[in-house]
Amino acid sequence: MRIDDFLWLSYKDLTEKKVRTTLTILMVMIGVASIVALVSLTEGISASVQTSLQTLGPTSIILSGSKGFTTTDVSRLSGLPNVSAVIPIIEGSGHLLANGQNTSVTVVGISTEGITELLDGVNMYEGSLYSDSISPTVVVGQSVAFPSSFDGRQNLQVGYPVTLYTGGHGSSQSVTVSVVGILDSYASLIVPIDSAVVMSLPAAGLLLHRSTYSTILVRASNTSTVNSVAQLITNIYGSSVSVVTTQQIAQTADKIIGSITTLLVIIAGISLLVAAIGIMNIMLISVYERTHDIGILKSIGFKNSHILLVFLMQSLIIGVAGGIAGIAAGVGSAYGLSYISSHVSSTGAAGAPGAGPTASYGRGPQAHGGATFVAAGGAGQAMASSSSSSISFQPVFTIETMAVALLVAVIVSAIAGVYPAWRASKLEPIDALRQL
């Protein structure tokens, strides 16, 4: 017999039990989809982290401390050997109310030279950069201008008046600032640029009532001096300041992501193990149900190897079908989870719309209307600005991942079908014909 004859016999038996076959393929599909989705998501997160690290550069050293930093600290760090740049940063948190949309944001104060150094060059989507004066001019990130709660449509444009409220409830003060630019999308580990309202250091210090810097970015003169500069800073400040290099972040991120990937693959593997048990169970039932048919096939000349091949091909068909369906489902699930993660992270931290006055919009020359920005001032309220940042990453799919997932599905299905196929091939024709 030709191989296509065996395929037809295998396929015919599977189609006779459509519901059973579909459920078995579904079990394989879930396992494969889990592998493809989870691996692609962790690869996407890893790629996002690496992109952020590349933006920072290999010579960057990040300093943070609970007490903050002063201009004296900046001068001291600038005078250290093998230090090429020192970039102080002020951060605070707040909410932007515009067009009825409440968007969680981070207030960032940094000099124009500092943001250019931080982002390795500033690319503007629209408008220009602010000035290094106390003048209240700001630029906003992509997530602020195009909030997900506004269906990704532009909610702010250059020239919009923005009212900034600082201080707590009952004692808040406001100032109208001008949005002079919108930044391109950036991935940054130090400050969440995409969800930030960025201004000069003097303006941020005044509006947030901050006399100290939240974070300082130090750039070593070259990669060979990074560790020595980091050690020197640690010797100066001791345990009161956290000193982390981008190399350390990269190593830690790789270890964490690698561990997470391994754990997720094991979990997905358990799904495939369950599928394998299901395949074996279904195939054994099929052998029992077709015992009489096996006797007829053997009586007309089918060999043990022929019977073995027919049932083994059934399990292979299930594996291939489940693998292909699983890859498609995994790709869709990965994109869906990525979207949900970005959407939840960008809107979940939003406060109550009543945090400040609601913006009002008119027509004619004032068509742009007004927007209200509520900023939590004071050092004590500059909590983990990352809470207002959005998780921005896209799943990364590789041919290797999909090929391995499909191969694993086929191998697991084949192994699960070996015993039932072997048992079917060993049935004696006379015994098999006796069973109806």
pLDDT of residue 233: 92
Question: Does 356 score more than 70 pLDDT?
Answer: no
Q: How confident is the model at residue 11 (pLDDT cuts 50, 70, 90)?
A: low
Q: Which amino acid appears at position 71 of this protein?
A: T
Percent of the chain residues past pLDDT 90, beyond the cut: 15
pLDDT of residue 289: 66
Question: Does 51 score more than 60 pLDDT?
Answer: yes
pLDDT of residue 298: 65
pLDDT of residue 71: 92
Lowest mean per-residue pLDDT among 80-94, 330-344, 361-375:
361-375
Q: Which long-range contacts (CB under 8 A, 24 or more apart) does 380-387 make?
A: 381/92, 381/93, 382/91, 382/92, 382/93, 382/208, 382/210, 382/214, 383/93, 385/91, 385/92, 385/93, 385/106, 385/191, 385/192, 385/214, 386/192, 387/93, 387/104, 387/349
Average pLDDT of span 69-96: 89
Question: Does 100 score more than 80 pLDDT?
Answer: no
pLDDT of residue 201: 93
Sorted by where each begins, the domain ranges of the chain are 3-49+254-343+394-434, 57-246+355-388
pLDDT of residue 291: 65
Average pLDDT of span 182-194: 81
Residues 6+ apart with CB under 8 A from 83: 77, 218, 219, 220, 221, 229
Among 140-144, 187-191, 349-353, 382-386, name the most confident range. 140-144
- Alpha-helix residue ranges (DSSP H) falling in 70-141: 71-78, 112-118
pLDDT of residue 99: 67
Q: How confident is the model at residue 253 (pLDDT cuts 50, 70, 90)?
A: confident
Q: How confident is the model at residue 139 (pLDDT cuts 50, 70, 90)?
A: very high
Q: How confident is the model at residue 328 (pLDDT cuts 50, 70, 90)?
A: very high
Q: How confident is the model at residue 65 (pLDDT cuts 50, 70, 90)?
A: confident
